[in-house]
Amino acid sequence: MLSSSFKTIRSGQTLLDLSSPKIMGIVNVTPDSFYDGGKYSNSDKALEHATKLLSEGADILDIGAYSSRPNAKYVSEDEELARLIPFIVRLKELHPTSIISVDTFRAKVAAEAIVNGAHIINDISGGSLDEEMFATAGRLQVPYILMHMRGNPQTMQSLTDYDDLISDISDYFAERIPKLRRHGVHDIILDPGPGFAKTIEQNYELIGRFKELKGFRLPLLGAVSRKSMIYNALNVSANDALSGTIVLNTVLLLQSANILRVHDVKEAKETIRLIGLLKQQKQLLNL
């Protein structure tokens, strides 16, 4: 259960302290993710990569078996399960104390992952693509990451018309949070979904106004790592988007992000360390 200070979430038997920012390392066991698609679809390579992220300081591993990039190919539920579950089982055998988030919008996939050792559900659809997801999260009593998105990965980039971006995102969260509570979900983390159903300009508005979402008094997750909003703006590839990622992660930390979801854990760890030192100088920086 989220503490009265809104600074901890319970993941399995572990109480994750969010009084200082935490790092969620990305492990995609997919052939087509936008940055590392196919690179770790072999389970041995994926396990090696997960081990590397943990050694660099990842607090959570976010495991995905269905690419959510724009226009991603459809993957059946059976295929997603076949990619995901054996990997989670092997990961828990190798790193039994690791905290695992499962990146899926399907309730059955989420449930199977939790039963086999995962701790957190990271749902890009905010419950809109599977009506059983909220009830599943409540029944399993696990933290739930509520992300803002419209449509699905195949249609979302055509659904970018907003009256006021942050107000519309806030309305979205305000509608879904009570539903999650009614289903018994105690630990809710908010992800406003940069890169999902948003133009490049809207993504930067979102980052600049990220702190406005603190009013929900729930942990905020920042997820911009190597996304097209960076590499398209800089006219580079995802492979060359690390420096841009570091810049935007810095802004997110200054805007009160509690968790950073990243491909590059070492660099995120260093960013958090330096921002922490800066925040000690409140009289100079007004942070």
> Residues 129-142: pLDDT tens digits?
999 999 999 999 99
Contact 62, 24 (CB under 8 A): yes
- Residue 74: the pLDDT is 80
Contact 148, 169 (CB under 8 A): yes
- Residue 43: the pLDDT is 78
More confident position, 14 or 106: 106
Residue 34 pLDDT greater than 50, yes or no: no
Q: Angle at the Cα of 212 (from 133 to 149), degrees rounded to 5? A: 30
Question: Residue 273's closest CA among 8, 23, 51, 17?
Answer: 23
- Please say whether the structural domain 21-285 has been given the CATH code 3.20.20.20: yes
State in Å, rounded, how far the first CA of the chain is from the last one: 29
Residue 1 pLDDT greater than 50, yes or no: no
Q: Of the ranges 164-168, 182-186, 260-264, 278-282, which one carries the lowest mean pLDDT score?
A: 278-282
Residue 68 pLDDT greater than 90, yes or no: no
- The whole-angstrom separation of Cα 121 and Cα 104 is 7
Q: What residues are labeled active site?
A: 227, 261
Residue 69 pLDDT greater than 70, yes or no: no
Classify residue 59 by burial, with Cβ atoms within 10 Å: 0-12, 13-18, 19+: buried
Confidence of residue 211 (pLDDT cuts 50, 70, 90): very high
More confident position, 221 or 35: 221
The string of pLDDT tens digits covering residues 156-171 is: 888 899 999 999 999 9
pLDDT over 90, % of the chain: 78
- Residue 4: the pLDDT is 37
- The whole-angstrom separation of Cα 229 and Cα 32 is 18
Residue 113 pLDDT greater than 80, yes or no: yes
The string of pLDDT tens digits covering residues 84-105 is: 999 999 999 999 999 999 999 9
Taking residues 78-87, what's their average pLDDT?
93
Taking residues 37-41, what's their average pLDDT?
49
In sign, the C-alpha dihedral spanning 262, 267, 269, 274 is: negative
Residue 7 pLDDT greater than 90, yes or no: no
Distances (CA, A) of 261 to 81, 89, 186, 226, 284: 22, 22, 21, 11, 29
Taking residues 112-140, what's their average pLDDT?
97
- Residue 55: the pLDDT is 98
Taking residues 274-281, what's their average pLDDT?
87
Residue 82's SS3 state is helix
Q: Note the pTM of the prediction, 2 decimals.
A: 0.91
Confidence of residue 70 (pLDDT cuts 50, 70, 90): low
- Residue 2: the pLDDT is 38
pLDDT over 70, % of the chain: 90
Question: Residue 119's closest CA among 75, 76, 63?
Answer: 63
- Residue 52: the pLDDT is 97
Give pairs for 73-77: CB < 8 Å, separation 24+: 73/32, 74/154, 77/106, 77/108, 77/109
